[in-house]
């Protein structure tokens, strides 16, 4: 079993202390009736191919920028495999609603996904993005903690964690989260820009 990096776990724990975990009662999961009957079993518990993931991550650390872009797409595709057509449908509906700016609907679909596939890291990661867009930072952090516990290599979740911390003014903790992400994906442009942006404000502090 993979475990959340100790340093990153400390960052998340410290962050949660600053933000209340409040979710509006109007945000409810979809009922089971909306999930196709073909959904059993709900999730292939084998999850992503860890051998394939390990090979891609090793290649990513040594890749050129052009190669890294291709490897990133491969990792995204791997991490989005739930093992269940029904769960894939919920993920797709959640992403579509998120892209359309309908955050409540996105959260409903993604809550159904996390309820029925609690070991699927991508569901937690995408719901965190929906909470972040809805400015529900406490729930977003809690979801990122779950996502990273399930997949400690998910640098997109680390980027999301850094973005939340930066938004609420916790620059040093944000810098630590971004640093974790860049150690896995050295050519991630958004992470590199964030580190450059924060480096001056955290200069001279103990990281």
pLDDT by 10s per residue, the chain, length 207? 454 565 666 666 555 555 544 433 232 233 223 333 333 333 443 455 678 999 999 999 999 999 999 999 999 999 999 999 999 999 999 999 999 999 999 999 999 999 999 999 999 999 999 999 999 999 999 999 999 999 999 999 999 999 999 999 999 999 999 999 999 999 999 999 999 999 988 876 555
- Name the pTM for this structure: 0.78
The set of residues, in sequence order, having a beta carbon less than 8 Å from that of 95 and lying 6+ positions away, is 106, 126
Domain count, the chain: 1
Structural domain including 113 reads 6-22+49-198
What pLDDT sits at residue 193? 95
Q: How far apart are CA 178 and CA 180, in angstroms?
A: 5
The set of residues, in sequence order, having a beta carbon less than 8 Å from that of 190 and lying 6+ positions away, is 159
In a domain, 106, yes or no: yes
In a domain, 32, yes or no: no
In a domain, 173, yes or no: yes
Q: How far apart are CA 128 and CA 11, in angstroms?
A: 16
In a domain, 207, yes or no: no
In a domain, 170, yes or no: yes
In a domain, 88, yes or no: yes
In a domain, 108, yes or no: yes
Three-state DSSP state, 30? coil
Three-state DSSP state, 76? helix
CATH of the domain at 104: 1.25.40.10
Q: How far apart are CA 107 and CA 130, in angstroms?
A: 6
């Amino acid at each position: 079993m993979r475990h959340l990096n100790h340093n990153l776990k400390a960052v998340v724990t410290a962050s949660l202390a600053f933000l209340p975990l409040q979710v509006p009662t109007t945000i409810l999961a979809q009922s089971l009736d909306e999930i196709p009957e073909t959904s059993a079993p709900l999730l292939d518990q084998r999850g992503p191919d860890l051998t394939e993931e390990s090979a891609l991550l090793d290649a990513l650390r040594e890749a050129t920028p052009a190669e890294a872009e291709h490897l990133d797409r491969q990792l995204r595709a791997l991490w989005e495999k739930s093992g269940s057509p029904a769960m894939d449908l919920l993920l797709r509906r959640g992403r579509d609603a998120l892209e359309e700016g309908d955050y409540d609907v996105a959260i409903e679909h993604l809550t159904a996904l996390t309820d029925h596939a609690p070991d699927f890291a991508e569901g937690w990661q995408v719901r965190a993005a929906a909470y972040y867009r809805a400015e529900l930072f406490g729930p977003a952090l809690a979801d990122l903690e779950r996502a990273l516990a399930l997949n400690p290599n998910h640098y997109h979740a680390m980027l999301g964690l850094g973005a939340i911390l930066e938004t609420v003014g916790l620059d040093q903790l944000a810098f630590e989260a971004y640093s974790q992400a860049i150690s896995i994906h050295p050519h991630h442009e958004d992470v590199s820009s964030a580190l450059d942006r924060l480096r001056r404000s955290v200069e001279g502090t103990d990281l």
